[in-house]
A = this chain, B = another copy of it.
Amino acid sequence: MPEKLVEQITARDVDFAKWYTDIVKKADLIDYSSVRGCMILKPYGYALWENIQRELDLRFKAAGHENVYMPLFIPESLLQKEKEHVEGFAPEVAWVTHGGEEKLTERLCVRPTSETLFCELYANIIHSYRDLPKLYNQWCSVVRWEKTTRPFLRSLEFLWQEGHTAHVDEAEARGETLKMLDVYADFCREFLAIPVVKGRKTDKEKFAGARETYTIEAIMHDGKALQAGTTHYFGDGFARAFGIQFSDKDNKLQYVHQTSWGMSTRIIGAVIMVHSDDNGLSLPPKLAPVQVVIVPIAPHKSRVLEKAREVLEDVSAVARVKLDDSDKQSGWKFSEHEMRGVPVRLEIGPKDIEQGQATLVRRDTREKTAVPLKELSMKIPKLLKEIQAGMYERAKKRLEDGTHTAQNFDEFKDIIEREGGFIKAMWCGAQECEEIIKAETGATSRCMPHGQEAVGDECVCCGRPAKTLVYWGKAY
């Protein structure tokens, strides 16, 4: 590795938390506001969300979903209709009590999630099996009154999408729950170059009001897990609480079966903690707002800027490219664009021009290649693909290397202490064991993974007969 060009961020191995906040601030993704726990998404941070939103929205629409917009406020009485749901959310909602000068007769909460509003709508508009399925999604912000907050990972307000669907029966709703989990996992793998483990949450960890919650779990550079997206199967619980009924083909009244699923700006935190390094952010090309930055070397010299502009025009046709023709030093520009995670730097100076070439530098490996100018628009898309694939492969290897197996509680504690990461271990199904594991190690059950074999017969905690394999880990 060549010498470090950026000195102003804390090294990842020295203080992971500080490294993380250094990156979000210095790559200019966010700023803080005077409201506790609310962050400002600055242009570069918001551009990441726009790209995520565009790509996910295409995938949702291809799967038959339609976007809607529901109100920001939920009347207290509406929130209370489903018992488990309100118990889960009431402690962490913001309450509006006054409109203008007037005190409201009923408090309104600022939506922490919109199940109740969608249920109210569905009760009004679903009458017949012909009205089903309803496959709605919305893009919005939600508010949860968190005590401690961290940029992207946990904030009082965050941006997300929430899908809410209603189906004729359990099979179809369960199918949707699993299908959308795949949509999330595929999106993480293909677009963000983040490998995930898919699985079901234990009862203790599931969403308030859900019969089952599925999750995708990723592993960060510090060995901690991060829940990157969830999908919920509700059965007909909400339908009964809200009276969402339809006439089936035999003209009998039935309750709908429902799902919901969400992914938020939190995923940007995962991108940072999976891919970045001591030089700053590193973005997978598909996500990067700027894929190639052109840095002219000795730009005052004859024809350098002119050539750089020609290259800009050529490359614009095949990549999101930017020319940095500011009056800063080249070294400063190298650092700055590395810090911002631009996947490819294209250097062009007098010597390059003499030889009819430019130099391409990968952000991820810092590998340099000289490429004839005429081949740039052919080579760059190829290079971007290689970077995307390489970033995924390295992340996948870390996920694999960071996944351990524990046969007993001593092994479990030892791994958590020495290595972190995921621990595959058997579980008896008792919530008590989850609580003991959490109390003694800080690890929680992340998920019961899809289609994986048992790694033993006994619960890693109590030694009683095991029911299922669980991925455990300390988590964000």
Instruction: For A157, give its contact among B38, B68, B71 (CB under 8 Å).
Output: B71
Chain B residues with Cβ below 8 Å from A66 are 43, 46-47
Report the stretch among A94-102, A362-370, A414-422 that lies at the interface.
Answer: A94-102
CB of A233 closer than 8 Å to a CB of B: no
Q: Separation in Å of the A65 CB from the closest CB of chain B?
A: 9
CA distance A124 to B92 in the complex (A): 30
CA distance A31 to B69 in the complex (A): 10
Q: Separation in Å of the A89 CB from the closest CB of chain B?
A: 10
Instruction: For A67, give its contact among B35, B46, B75, B145 (CB under 8 Å).
Output: B46
Instruction: For A70, give its contact among B40, B95, B140 (CB under 8 Å).
Output: B40
Closest to A102 in B: B145
Chain B residues with Cβ below 8 Å from A108 are 35, 94
CB of A34 closer than 8 Å to a CB of B: yes
Give A17-29 as 1s and 0s: 1 = Cβ < 8 Å from B's Cβ atoms.
0000000000000
Give A70-94 as 1s and 0s: 1 = Cβ < 8 Å from B's Cβ atoms.
1111110010000000000011111
CB of A219 closer than 8 Å to a CB of B: no
Decide: A159 and B69 in contact? CB cutoff 8 A: yes
Chain B residues with Cβ below 8 Å from A93 are 99-100
Chain B residues with Cβ below 8 Å from A136 are 43
Instruction: For A50, give its contact among B34, B67, B120, B141 (CB under 8 Å).
Output: B67
Decide: B49 and A69 in contact? CB cutoff 8 A: yes
CB of A42 closer than 8 Å to a CB of B: yes
CB of A318 closer than 8 Å to a CB of B: no
Decide: A121 and B157 in contact? CB cutoff 8 A: no
CB of A33 closer than 8 Å to a CB of B: yes
Chain B residues with Cβ below 8 Å from A92 are 100
CB of A378 closer than 8 Å to a CB of B: no
Chain B residues with Cβ below 8 Å from A72 are 38, 110, 141, 143, 157
With contacts A40-B71, A68-B40 taken as known, whether A145 is within 8 angstroms of B99 at the C-beta atoms is: yes
Chain B residues with Cβ below 8 Å from A42 are 68
Decide: A73 and B35 in contact? CB cutoff 8 A: yes
Chain B residues with Cβ below 8 Å from A71 are 33, 35, 38-40, 157
Decide: A157 and B73 in contact? CB cutoff 8 A: yes
Q: Separation in Å of the A451 CB from the closest CB of chain B?
A: 35
CB of A132 closer than 8 Å to a CB of B: no
CB of A298 closer than 8 Å to a CB of B: no
Decide: B43 and A67 in contact? CB cutoff 8 A: yes
List 30 interface pairs A-B (beta carbons < 8 Å), by A numbering: A31-B124, A33-B70, A33-B120, A33-B121, A34-B120, A35-B75, A38-B71, A38-B72, A39-B71, A40-B70, A40-B71, A40-B117, A42-B68, A43-B68, A46-B66, A46-B67, A72-B143, A91-B100, A91-B101, A92-B100, A93-B100, A94-B96, A94-B108, A95-B97, A95-B98, A96-B97, A99-B145, A100-B145, A102-B145, A110-B110
- Give me 18 other A-B pairs in contact (C-beta within 8 A), A40-B68, A40-B70 excluded: A31-B125, A33-B117, A33-B120, A40-B71, A41-B69, A42-B68, A43-B66, A43-B67, A43-B136, A46-B67, A50-B67, A69-B159, A90-B100, A91-B101, A92-B100, A94-B96, A94-B108, A96-B96
Binding site for B on A (CB under 8 A): 31, 33-35, 38-43, 46-47, 49-50, 66-75, 78, 90-102, 108, 110, 117, 120-121, 124-125, 136, 140-141, 143, 145, 157, 159
